[in-house]
Amino acid sequence: MANVLNFEVITPERIMLKGKTTSLIVPATEGFLGVWPNHAPLITGLQPGIVKYRQGETFFVLAISNGFMEVADNVITILVNTAERPEDIDVARAQAAKERAEKRLYKQPPGLDVHRAEFALHRALARLKAVHYKCISK
């Protein structure tokens, strides 16, 4: 029995991350989902949030947008529209995106695409949470 999982995080532009982990937690559409070695096969949708994975005694995070995850034979494949490491996130830009989304949702002008505004807010919050997590995990 294997005690590690191989995993990849793939965006439309590139393979963002490829490595091994002993555990992984993702923001699935129905709530957070943990995956450990020898997990049952599954496919699930992902929502904007942070992916938390462990390598040795260290935890790492990625901010992701929506997508899918497949688990089979100790291999995890995560397909998402965007994925960012905390050190690559522009905090001022993420904060500005959060404020714009909140303003649109609060005012709700005619013709507002509420779903799109909520998605923008969740993505900005995920990016800020990833940066915050990196700061407190050092």
Q: How confident is the model at residue 1 (pLDDT cuts 50, 70, 90)?
A: low
* Beta-sheet pairing, 75-80 with 5-10: parallel
Distance (Å, whole) CA 45 – CA 27: 9
Q: Report which residue type is found at 71.
A: V
Average pLDDT over all residues of the chain: 90
Distance (Å, whole) CA 119 – CA 111: 16
9, 45 contact by CB (below 8 A): no
Q: Taking residues 85-98, report their average pLDDT.
A: 92
Residue 15 has a CB neighbour count (10 Å cut-off) of 9
Helix (H) or strand (E) holding 59: strand 58-64
> Domain 89-136, what fold?
1.20.5
Paired tokens of 111: 């013709």
Distance (Å, whole) CA 44 – CA 40: 12
pTM: 0.84
Q: What's the pLDDT score for residue 135?
A: 54
pLDDT at 53 over 60: yes
Q: Domain 5-84 has what CATH class?
A: mainly beta
Q: What's the pLDDT score for residue 138?
A: 45
Q: What residues does each domain of the chain span?
A: 5-84, 89-136
pLDDT at 71 over 60: yes
Q: How confident is the model at residue 119 (pLDDT cuts 50, 70, 90)?
A: confident
56-60, long-range: CB < 8 A, 24+ apart:
56/22, 59/137
pLDDT digits (tens, 9 = 90+) for 11-39: 999 999 999 999 999 999 999 999 999 99
Q: What's the pLDDT score for residue 6?
A: 96
